[in-house]
Amino acid sequence: MKLLVCISKAPDTTSKVSFAENNTKFNEAGVQYIINPYDEWYALVRALELKETLGGTVTTITVGKADNEPTIRKALAIGADDAVRIDAEASDALAVAKQIADYVKNNSYDIIFCGKETIDYNGSQVGGMIAELLDLPYVSLASKLDVNGNTATLERDIQGGKEVVETNMPFVISCAKGMAEARIPNMRGIMAARTKPLQVISGSEVSKLTEIVAYSLLPEKAGCKFIDAENPGELFQLLHNEAKVI
Amino acid sequence: MSVLVYTEPHHGKISKNATEAASYASKLAALLGTTATALVCGEASDTETLGQVGISKILQVASEGISQFDTQKLSKAVQEAVRKEMATVIVFSHDFSGKAIAPRVAAKLQAGLVAGAVSLPDTSNGFIVKKAVFSGKAFAHVSVTSEVKVISLLPNSFSVEKTGGTASIESFLPEIGKAGVVVKEIRKESTKLSLTEADLVVSAGRGMKGPENWGNIEELATLMGAATACSRPVADIGWRPHHEHVGQTGLAIRPNLYIAVGISGAIQHLAGVNGSKVIVVINTDAEAPFFKAADYGIVGDAFQVLPKLIEAYKQFKASNN
Ligand SMILES: Cc1cc2nc3c(=O)[nH]c(=O)nc-3n(C[C@H](O)[C@H](O)[C@H](O)COP(=O)(O)OP(=O)(O)OC[C@H]3O[C@@H](n4cnc5c(N)ncnc54)[C@H](O)[C@@H]3O)c2cc1C
């Protein structure tokens, strides 16, 4: 089985979010990058588990510049066999999806994995776009995936529950919580990652259709109003008369 | 030119998310000087809701098997409606279904997609839509330059306005082809209120000490008509089901009221809840970081405060009925 996992970098979850250049750029000063948790914990690890039980290869693919290589090496340390980096600006979701779809057209895969969303731009877009560009079935927000021959059984999150679905390979999936448990790379993995193949290919010409022109922060809270723990019932009066939410 | 909104009935009714998206679409249509059409993929007994929020036309999809969810079929239905209505903006809710279909439609139509929009576009200079980023910690203002545009609206971020109209209903039979994904079974997580649609949420964390202590949390939530949520460690150690986990790596929610009991307010937890309109924090530790993000706070032991709150809520309800 040939498995492809889309990997993106994302700011560490404890990063302070602030903006530079007149609020037009994310301020990267002091920010550590990690593999986007959904890509790592769920997509990559489930792909590795399938490879371990059913055989095959796990390749990671990333659209972006050389500053992505530390996170790509980490994915290799966790256990991916090889990696592809498409050397192009990840300018918007459709641009990224087109680069990946173009690559897949020339190198077929059985399952293309994405994370549910990146924790910085929270789009949940790339998987569905790749699926459309390749005219493949798409299961979004999947929390379970089992493969039997050419058929896969999956669970996906829906409003108030889960849906059990079936599809045939090849297909695209975006992975949510429940899919797998995070793995920590061991020393052997880290050593091996240094020499695993990381192929850099140049991207195709794609234009972007969206652009972030400015950022803003959440409005500041007015401050916390404290209520006496001995007499907490006042809370409901405040929520009713002042905040008007109940 | 027109605005098209995708709706999918939930248990035979137009869902809250779909109503918000429809209201957004009709407001957007007014802004652009055109009208809004709703595509209804499945049977709903209350389609008049759509007219009431300003939709002028309903395309009721009558194609066989449309209510069996499949992104390939549904995106074909949307595309055909776009052609028929000459739609230039397509609106979805950024919910489980919208996240699955909107990207397909955008890729097919070569349309810029703003996923997770929180307000109407600013059209004074181009087409700029504000959306939530960094898991709710900030907003990005996204300029869309393509002729056709797709917007998915973050649930609970836009107030529905009833304008009181009626929509014409037309049966619509798009060619949807075969499903690539076949639905085998639907499992309801519980009969309780779904967390992503709830207006009120009562949430608890490790401060509750053990799963046996959730009785007060559930009682308060039931009384208030609120959904229950929890912090990640609580779901990870199995005190609560995974679908209650909110935060950066769980569900992101934006209720009107979020009551957090025994949760410290770690940055990853806040990321999923700080879009809530009003936050109440109950914690023994006056220095807990959550108080900085709170509107109302009670410094105290949940085991003592909760029974008092439950009694007080009963009185409040009795005197406000
Ligand atoms: C990559 C990453 C992603 C993460 N994603 C998430 C996420 O999505 N969601 C999430 O929630 N966390 C997430 N976390 C974990 C997060 O960092 C915190 O560890 C977690 O939120 C803490 O949960 P808690 O507040 O329940 O527990 P604690 O931090 O242990 O806090 C318990 C609180 O209860 C209070 N308390 C104790 N006893 C009482 C009492 N009797 N009455 C009232 N209060 C009491 C304490 O003062 C304390 O403030 C993530 C972490 C990482 C590294």
Helices (H), ranges, B137-247:
215-224, 232-236
The distance of A225 to chain B (nearest Cα, Å) reads 5
According to the model, what pLDDT value does residue B135 have?
Answer: 86
Specify if B131 maps to a domain. yes
According to the model, what pLDDT value does residue A17 have?
Answer: 92
Range of the domain at B118: 2-171
Helices (H), ranges, chain A:
37, 45-54, 69-78, 93-106, 126-134, 187-195, 234-237
Indicate whether B24 and B65 sit together in one domain. Answer: yes
How would you classify residue B219: left for phi > 0, otherwise alpha for psi between -120 and 50, otherwise beta? Answer: alpha
- Is the beta carbon of B233 within 6 A of some atom in ligand 1? yes
Indicate whether B204 and B133 sit together in one domain. Answer: no
- Judge contact between B60 and B47, C-beta under 8 A: yes
Per-residue pLDDT of B151-174, as tens digits, reads 999 998 999 999 989 999 999 999
Indicate whether B157 and B244 sit together in one domain. Answer: no
Per-residue pLDDT of A98-143, as tens digits, reads 999 999 999 999 999 999 999 999 999 999 999 999 999 999 999 9
Specify if B107 maps to a domain. yes
What angle, 0 to 180 degrees and rounded to 10, lies between the N-to-C axes of helices B96-109 and A93-106? 70
Residue nearest to atom 23 of ligand 1 (CA): B231
Instruction: Tell me the CATH number at B133.
Output: 3.40.50.620
Of B96, B281, B320, Cβ closest to residue A141: B96
Per-residue pLDDT of B190-248, as tens digits, reads 656 788 889 999 999 999 999 999 999 999 999 999 999 999 999 999 999 988 999 98
pLDDT exceeds cutoff 90 at A8: yes
Strand partners, B122: B128
Indicate whether B164 and B204 sit together in one domain. Answer: no
Strand partners, A112: A4, A172
Task: Pick the closest to residue A78 from A201, A181, A199 (CA basis).
Answer: A181
Tokens for B117?
């929009």
Chain B's closest residue to A138, CA to CA, is: B71
Contacting B residues, span 301-320, partner chain A, CB-CB under 8 Å = 301, 304-305, 308-309, 311-313, 315-316, 320
Specify if B8 maps to a domain. yes
Residue nearest to atom 17 of ligand 1 (CA): B266
- Is the beta carbon of B136 within 6 A of some atom in ligand 1? no
The C-alpha atoms of residue B265 and residue B286 are separated, in whole angstroms, by 12
User: 10 Å Cβ neighbour count for A231?
Assistant: 11
Strand partners, A214: B141
pTM of the model: 0.93
Instruction: Tell me the CATH number at B293.
Output: 3.40.50.1220
Indicate whether B36 and B146 sit together in one domain. Answer: yes
Could you give the ipTM of this predicted complex?
Answer: 0.95
Of B138, B146, B224, Cβ closest to residue A217: B138
> In a 3-state reduction of DSSP, which class is residue B79?
helix
Per-residue pLDDT of B11-23, as tens digits, reads 899 999 999 999 9
The C-alpha atoms of residue A198 and residue B39 are separated, in whole angstroms, by 46
Phi, psi of A225 (to 5 degrees): -95, 125
Domains and CATH numbers, chain A: 2-215 (3.40.50.620)
Indicate whether B100 and B55 sit together in one domain. Answer: yes
Indicate whether B101 and B149 sit together in one domain. Answer: yes
The C-alpha atoms of residue B209 and residue B178 are separated, in whole angstroms, by 51
pLDDT exceeds cutoff 90 at B53: yes
Contact flag B297-A226 (C-beta cutoff 8 Å): yes
Per-residue pLDDT of A53-65, as tens digits, reads 999 999 999 999 9
Indicate whether B36 and B138 sit together in one domain. Answer: yes
Contact A161/B at CB under 8 A: yes
| Residue position matching structure tokens 């693919």 | A61
- Judge contact between B217 and B261, C-beta under 8 A: yes
Indicate whether B163 and B25 sit together in one domain. Answer: yes
The C-alpha atoms of residue A30 and residue A33 are separated, in whole angstroms, by 10
Per-residue pLDDT of A177-224, as tens digits, reads 899 999 999 999 999 999 999 999 999 989 999 999 999 998 888 899
Per-residue pLDDT of B176-190, as tens digits, reads 999 999 999 999 876
Indicate whether B156 and B304 sit together in one domain. Answer: no
> In a 3-state reduction of DSSP, which class is residue B212?
helix
Contact flag A122-B128 (C-beta cutoff 8 Å): no
* Chain A residues within 8 A of B155 when measuring between CB atoms: none
pLDDT exceeds cutoff 90 at B137: no
